[in-house]
Structures are given as C-alpha cells and as structure tokens.
Amino acid sequence: MKNRMMLIFWLFGVLGAQAQSEVASDSTGLPGDQFSLEGALTLFQKAESPEDFEKSLNDESSQVNNLDLNGDDETDYIRVISKTEGETHIFVLQVPVSENESQDIAVIELEKTGNEEAHLQIIGDEEIFGVEIIVEPGDPGQDEGVESKKGGPSISTVNTAQIVINVWTWSCVRYVYRPGYRPWVSPWGWRHYPGWWRPWRPLGWSFWRPVKVRHYSPTIRIVHKHRLNRAHGMYKPIRVHSTTVRTRHAGVHSNYKVSRTKTTIQGPRGKTTTNTRTTVKKSRRG
C-alpha cells in the first residue's frame, strides 16, 4: 500500500512537471501574454461609445485584461484616449504605470473610407508583445488569420486578396462619426480611478492561457500590413512607452528573435496565395 501511494505521488509529480514545462513553453514571458487583442476588438464592436469601451476593458468579467505592468500583484486599469482629425480616429489603450509614466498597450485606428463605410485595425505595441501585432475584423468564410494558440506572438497568416470588412454598422463607430462628437479622453490616471472599479489579482498563466484562447475567432484575423495610413500617421508621434516597463522586460526582449518568411503558392487558374509566417523564438538562455 505504501509503495502504491509513493507511485501515485511520483506520477502526479511527473505530470505536474510536464504541465509546467508545457505552460512555460507556451508563454513568451512578455506582458502581451496577459492581454487579448482579439478580445479588445470584440469589446469595441459591442461598445456603445469609447467611454463604454473603456469600462468593458476594465470589467473583470470581460476576461480581456490580465496585465500587471508594475508588478504589484493587482491588475492594471486601462484608460482610453482618443484623438480625431477630420474623419480619422485613433483610440489609445494605455496603462498609467506610475505617477510619472504610462505605457501604451495597443491602438485602434479607424478611418471613414466612403459613404457609410469605415475600416479599422487594432495594433498591439511592440514593447508589450515583442513584435507589433496587427489585428482586424475578418470574413468568417476566409481561412486565414489563425494565430497559434500559444498565447504569444507566434503567428501564421495567409495574405490572400483579403476582403476588408466595413465596420460602419458598429455602434461605437457610428457614435464617433455623429455630429458634435467630442473625442473621449479618459479622466482617470495613476491612483485616480472610477469608484466602480476594483483591481483583482491576475490569473497565473496556466489559468489565463485557456481564457485568452477563447477569444480567438474566425471573424478576426492577424495581418502584416497597415491599411490606415492617415490614422497610423496620427498615432506614431504620440505613442507613449514606459522606461520602467522596458527595463523590466529587457532581458526577455533580448531573448526573442523575430523572423518573417513568405512563400508564394501557385493555385488553380493562375491564382497565387502568399503565406506569411512570423515566428518569435526564445533563445536557450531564456
């Protein structure tokens, strides 16, 4: 009986070690592991306004944010700061890291491209994700934009003649294009948060990873092209990064190598398909 119990404990130990090893290999160790760009895009689609979007981002039940950039064992509050030039909008998702520093997590870029037509992308910041990640609404009929479900930015994307999705019918999009709209600039900052918000303890990777994976959707795709040049040009000069966050994760960043490879496939009737693969590899020192 004693030997049997010892065998059972040994088996549990082996299985636990294997599980921990698998979890570690799935994680990049970068902050981007703890935030779902796909989930944020879904929340934006459902939001009534930028203010409503900010509230949903910081709702624990939304299960999109698991960030703890300052390492205080509490989730960070993400504020939304918008800017408008003509019919071009940007919405910056930003975390106040300290009294003096903030860090951009991502930016939603939106442009009106015609009468009752608008397009958008959400771009994950390279300081957070290790590599700039561009996500946009996709056509569920297209077999593309499928990210490996390992939590980090190891991506395989098929760049075909993509259908660019019109987001004009999204409530938040209609809201910001209505007459008299004033850009939403979050009034909240470091240690100054809305009364309804309470931080929660971030989930460990083994619990958070399956939560994050659930946000993957065939209607959302990852691409490697900025489609909205005016919006991207608006954002670049105002991008904010934190020296504290950069220093804290410098070692992890240095252990990752980013490479992109393209393969062109000749299909039927002369149609070509380009497979673009972005790989982020961890060095042995990590």
Percent of the chain residues past pLDDT 70, beyond the cut: 72
Is the predicted pLDDT of residue 240 greater than 80, yes or no? Answer: yes
Ranges 8-17, 28-37, 193-202, 276-285: which has the least confidence: 8-17
Q: Find tokens 């220093």 and name the residue.
A: 247
> Do residues 148 and 156 make contact, with C-beta atoms less than 8 angstroms apart?
yes
Is the predicted pLDDT of residue 155 greater than 80, yes or no? Answer: no
Confidence of residue 256 (pLDDT cuts 50, 70, 90): low
Characterize 30-53 residue by residue with b for buried, 16 or more Cβ atoms within 10 angstroms of its Cβ, and e for exposed: bbbbbbbbbbbbbbbbebeebbbb
* Res 254: pLDDT: 77
Residue whose C-alpha is closest to residue 86's, from 275, 233, 245, 240? 233
What value, to the nearest 5°, has the Cα angle with vertex 151 and ends 193 and 186?
20
User: Three-state SS for 155?
Assistant: strand
Percent of the chain residues past pLDDT 90, beyond the cut: 63
Is the predicted pLDDT of residue 147 greater than 60, yes or no? Answer: no
> Do residues 54 and 79 make contact, with C-beta atoms less than 8 angstroms apart?
yes
> Do residues 65 and 57 make contact, with C-beta atoms less than 8 angstroms apart?
yes
pTM: 0.79
Structure confidence by residue, pLDDT tens digits, 94-138: 999 999 999 999 999 999 999 999 999 999 999 999 999 999 998
Q: What residues does each domain of the chain span?
A: 29-142+163-256
CB-based burial of residue 237 (10 Å sphere; 0-12 exposed, 13-18 middle, 19+ buried)? exposed
Is the predicted pLDDT of residue 245 greater than 70, yes or no? Answer: yes
Structure confidence by residue, pLDDT tens digits, 28-74: 899 999 999 999 999 999 999 999 999 999 999 999 999 999 999 99
* Res 102: pLDDT: 98
Confidence of residue 266 (pLDDT cuts 50, 70, 90): very low
Contacts of 68 (CB under 8 A, 6+ apart): 34, 74, 75, 76, 202
Please tell me which residue, 186 or 153, carries the higher pLDDT value: 186
Residue 281: both structure tokens together: 């590899």
* Res 268: pLDDT: 46
Residue whose C-alpha is closest to residue 148's, from 216, 67, 226? 216
* Res 26: pLDDT: 72
Is the predicted pLDDT of residue 253 greater than 90, yes or no? Answer: no
* Res 161: pLDDT: 54
* Res 217: pLDDT: 80
Most confident listed range (145-149, 160-164, 197-201, 252-256): 197-201
Structure confidence by residue, pLDDT tens digits, 67-98: 999 999 999 999 999 999 999 999 999 999 99
CA 202 to chain centre: 17
Confidence of residue 20 (pLDDT cuts 50, 70, 90): very low
CA 252 to chain centre: 18
